[in-house]
Amino acid sequence: MPDIVNVKYNQTGESKSTNQYGMRDMQARAFEARDAQYLLLKAPPASGKSRALMFLGLDKLVNQGLKKVIVAVPERSIGSSFAPTDLKTYGFYTNWEPNDMYNLCTPGSDGSKSKVQAFHNFMKSDEKILICTHATLRFACEELEESVFNATLLAIDEFHHVSVDADNRLGDLLRNIMQKSTAHVVAMTGSYFRGDSVPILLPDMEVKFTKVTYNYYEQLNGYNYLKSLGIGYHFYQGRYTQAILEVLDTNKKTIVHIPNVNSGESTKDKHNEVGFIIDAIGDVIKQDSETGVIHVKRPDGKILKVADLVEDNSKDRDRMVNYLRQIKSVDDMDLIIALGMAKEGFDWPYCEHALTVGYRGSLTEIIQIIGRATRDSENKIHAQFTNLIAQPDAADDLVKLSVNNMLKAITASLLMEQVLAPNWKFKTKVSDDDKPNTGEIKIRGLKEPSSKRVKDIIEQDLNDLKATVLQDDDMLRAMPGNVDPEVINKVLIPKVIAKKYPDLSEEQVEEIRQFVVLESVIKNGSIVDLKEIKLAIKNDAEIQKALNENPNAGDIKKALIPKIVKQVYPELSDDEASAFGNMIKNIPKEGDGDNKQENDKRFIRMAASFVDIDDLHIDLIDTVNPFQKAFEVLSKSVTTKVLKVIQETIEATRIKMDFEEAKILWPKIQEFVKLYNRQPNLSSGDPLEKRMAECIIYLKEEKRKRAQANG
């Protein structure tokens, strides 16, 4: 099926260039905040977080009076990212030189007596740097007072492993260290969102952190080679092993993540699943005894190198991981099959396609998996993420779970579109003469942030907040168009915001709500810029030749310009492309100056129509379902029968009516009666009409209750 999301990048090279200290763009931004005692660094995979920590840690040791740096990573394999590194050659004032004795990311149990003792020895020694796993940190801290971390930098990689849950030992020890010592903390993550409804930090702890955010668009737009990223879904029924070859292209360097054995997609035999995938590709020729690489011969004779990371034997798996970390050539590996590994801190720059089976529970996990394919490498201009998802079947006992997973998968993809796309700055429009600056959209009626707290949430936490909103159960039940858009935007979304930020006032919640809705509607809508179309026309040889040979602009508009519009904006229908082509009053010629024309306008798709961006008002935005694109994707991607199963399943768990929703629906009911000369029908096939009929029943019941109470 076609991609749900396809984002193009400009290959500026900025995210890979370095300053006079050898720091890349993100690293320099983090270093500016080096004096913060508590620093939260949110940056995508491949942006250089490991080296950023080296710069920060060394400055803490050399210039800020700290005595030690402890780096904690989720897996042993990630520890190699913090190996000794030459930084002076590239302009920094000292090198990162940890002692091998205190690199505890070595084979063996993370909680072994020897590793715990080594950690304790380090705390008593004059050594400066220790690297360990989260697990080793947890075990070692069981026998230590928090005060031993005075004058120590504790750096936690993949910080989303922390949570406020009482059973989360990592979160518990972090809170104790922050409360009972003078330790500094650097927390690093690709996304400050877990996906399990448990927050990472409580608001009173989170507010202590200085936040540095480097977004995905900045990273990918600044590459040298990667030009575009696609996100797509493929839905199947039956066993995924029978459908995987429909989306697995063995000509592309691919990581396949098979489903967790406890998920509905799993066959419960992970080794057979790996064997089936390999057998479906071709015949096994040999397995290298030193590296573990499996050589598979395709029917066309090509030999593929395959890595099996599902293998239970830790020794075999470690040697395979070691081989993968030493890959130097695009020909060294073709396909990696993994289960829980190869998600975090795993670097295979040549990877073009991340193929994942089954719904993933959080935005963070999706970002990590996509990050395996978004390294910049000269062998690719396009990276692809494909999610293979089971379609719900009415005969399946797990139909409710299947529907929920399917909806969450689609909303996650739309959220990723917003994460991956350029950021707009939304400003209040005060008059017709109030023109936006580059990168801005002016909105009438928009409330500007009234406090630093609100401003910080909007600037730094909006993607993570939208992840919380879009994964909320009530929001998911609203996706298939059975809840009025204004109810979604004005009732459901504020409830999620208020729950996540209980310290905010109603006015502050409303300010944030407007930006959440704007981001969701604007970024999920197609923006058409007539300037972009005119530039493409000027650069098109066929049109320029036609202009020189045929002065009849009408013929060119009808025959050639719609094709150019579709090339620039492939998501447009043929009719929409023709309509925008007709807006070009004067066909620009090669060599024309960049004159301001009255048709240099931008339009955005709002529901089923396009609206001039200059005419946007927050009230208009609130009438648009932020799930509109998700529902379009859903309805186009599954059969009518499957769609009916989804709608019926949601119908069984309808959102209860409340007065807030009824207050919004009542004027719409009055308009409906005036237009159709009848009341909404409870048996209507239109879910919105049915909801209005339910509203009438609710209001009558409320009226009866009040009359009885006043009785």
Which residue among 214, 244, 278 closes a domain? 214
pLDDT band per the 50, 70, 90 thresholds, residue 42: confident
Q: What DSSP character marks residue 382?
A: E
Closest CA to 306 of 328, 325, 285, 329: 285
Round to whole Å and give the CA distance between 275 and 270: 9
CA diameter of the chain: 87
- Residue 103 phi/psi, 5-degree rounding, is -100, 100
Judge contact between 220 and 229, C-beta under 8 A.
Answer: yes
493: CB partners within 8 A, 6+ apart: 469, 475, 513, 516, 517
For residue 488, pLDDT over 80 is answered with yes
State the pLDDT at residue 396.
63
- Residue 651 phi/psi, 5-degree rounding, is -60, -35
Round to whole Å and give the CA distance between 388 and 371: 18
Same domain, 22 and 164: yes
- Residue 494 phi/psi, 5-degree rounding, is -60, -35
Angle at the Cα of 354 (from 250 to 5), degrees rounded to 5? 115
For residue 514, pLDDT over 90 is answered with yes
Same domain, 190 and 338: no
Give me the long-range contacts of 505-510 (CB less than 8 A, separation at least 24): 507/450, 508/450, 508/451, 508/453, 508/454, 510/447
- Residue 34 phi/psi, 5-degree rounding, is -65, -25
Residue 624 lies in a domain: no
For residue 345, pLDDT over 60 is answered with no
Round to whole Å and give the CA distance between 56 and 33: 9
State the pLDDT at residue 591.
65
Round to whole Å and give the CA distance between 529 and 438: 13
Q: DSSP letter string over 151-196?
A: TEEEEESSGGG--S-TT-HHHHHHHHHHHHS--EEEEEES-S--SS
- Residue 254 DSSP SS3: strand
Place of tokens 């202590």: 208
* Cα–Cα distance list, 151 to 56, 245, 312 (Å): 14, 55, 41
pLDDT in tens, 71-110: 999 888 788 889 999 999 999 999 999 999 999 988 778 8
597: left (phi > 0), else alpha (psi -120 to 50), else beta?
beta
Report residue 707 CA to chain centroid gap. 50
Which CATH number covers residue 57? 3.40.50.300
For residue 704, pLDDT over 90 is answered with no
Same domain, 281 and 316: yes
Helices (H) and strands (E) counted in the chain, each on its own, are 27, 20
Closest CA to 334 of 366, 368, 372, 295: 295
Q: Provide the pairing of β-strand 602-606 with 527-529.
A: antiparallel
Which residue among 214, 233, 253 closes a domain? 214
Give me the long-range contacts of 80-83 (CB less than 8 A, separation at least 24): 80/105, 80/325, 81/50, 81/345, 81/347, 82/50, 82/53, 82/54, 82/131
Decide: residue 226, CB within 10 A, 0-12 exposed, 13-18 middle, 19+ buried.
buried
The neighbouring-strand residues paired with 529 are: 602
| Average pLDDT, rounded, for the chain | 84
602: CB partners within 8 A, 6+ apart: 527, 528, 529, 530, 612, 613, 614
Residue 61 lies in a domain: yes
For residue 479, pLDDT over 80 is answered with no
Closest CA to 247 of 5, 411, 1, 413: 1
How far is the first Cα of the chain from the last one, in angstroms, to the nearest whole number? 61
Round to whole Å and give the CA distance between 710 and 348: 71
Structure-block tokens of residue 399: 């139909």
* Among the ranges given (364-373, 388-397, 431-440, 669-678), the one the predictor scored with the smallest mean pLDDT: 388-397
For residue 613, pLDDT over 60 is answered with yes
For residue 63, pLDDT over 90 is answered with yes
For residue 598, pLDDT over 60 is answered with no
Work out whether the CA dihedral 395, 397, 403, 408 comes out positive or negative.
negative
Judge contact between 133 and 72, C-beta under 8 A.
Answer: yes
Place of tokens 């609100």: 454
Same domain, 204 and 324: no
Same domain, 190 and 228: no
The neighbouring-strand residues paired with 396 are: none
Mean pLDDT, residues 525-539: 83
Same domain, 142 and 85: yes
Closest CA to 592 of 554, 558, 543, 559: 543
Residue 512 lies in a domain: no
Residue 553 lies in a domain: no
pLDDT band per the 50, 70, 90 thresholds, residue 66: very high
State the pLDDT at residue 480.
67
70: CB partners within 8 A, 6+ apart: 130, 132, 137, 152, 153, 154, 155
State the pLDDT at residue 526.
73
- Residue 673 phi/psi, 5-degree rounding, is -65, -40
Judge contact between 407 and 259, C-beta under 8 A.
Answer: no
Which residue among 214, 245, 264 closes a domain? 214
- Residue 297 DSSP SS3: strand
Residue 200 lies in a domain: yes
For residue 625, pLDDT over 70 is answered with yes
Closest CA to 417 of 6, 1, 11, 44: 6
Closest CA to 508 of 497, 517, 519: 497
Q: How many CA atoms lie within 13 A of 491 on its CB side?
A: 22
- Residue 216 DSSP SS3: helix
Highest mean pLDDT among 5-19, 137-151, 451-465: 137-151
Same domain, 250 and 132: no
Same domain, 164 and 274: no
Residue 416 lies in a domain: no
Total domain count for the chain? Answer: 3
State the pLDDT at residue 206.
81
- Residue 589 phi/psi, 5-degree rounding, is -105, 155
Q: What DSSP character marks residue 489?
A: I
- Residue 8 phi/psi, 5-degree rounding, is -105, 150
For residue 38, pLDDT over 90 is answered with yes
Which pTM does this prediction carry? 0.73
Round to whole Å and give the CA distance between 141 and 180: 13
Residue 545 lies in a domain: no
pLDDT band per the 50, 70, 90 thresholds, residue 684: confident
Same domain, 300 and 203: no
Mean pLDDT, residues 581-600: 68
More confident residue, 191 or 371: 371
Judge contact between 660 and 699, C-beta under 8 A.
Answer: no
Round to whole Å and give the CA distance between 222 and 10: 7
Say how many C-beta atoms besides its own lie within 10 A of residue 314's C-beta.
11
Round to whole Å and give the CA distance between 442 and 615: 9
Round to whole Å and give the CA distance between 254 and 247: 11
Same domain, 249 and 228: yes
pLDDT in tens, 279-329: 999 999 999 988 899 999 999 999 999 999 887 777 777 788 788 878 889
State the pLDDT at residue 362.
63
Same domain, 36 and 174: yes
Residue 535 lies in a domain: no
Round to whole Å and give the CA distance between 366 and 216: 13
Percent of the chain past pLDDT 70, that is, above it, reads 89
Same domain, 228 and 207: no
Round to whole Å and give the CA distance between 610 and 607: 8
* Cα–Cα distance list, 545 to 11, 415, 534 (Å): 30, 42, 16
Mean pLDDT, residues 119-129: 95
Query: Which domain does 135 fall in, by range?
Result: 17-214
Say how many C-beta atoms besides its own lie within 10 A of residue 215's C-beta.
19
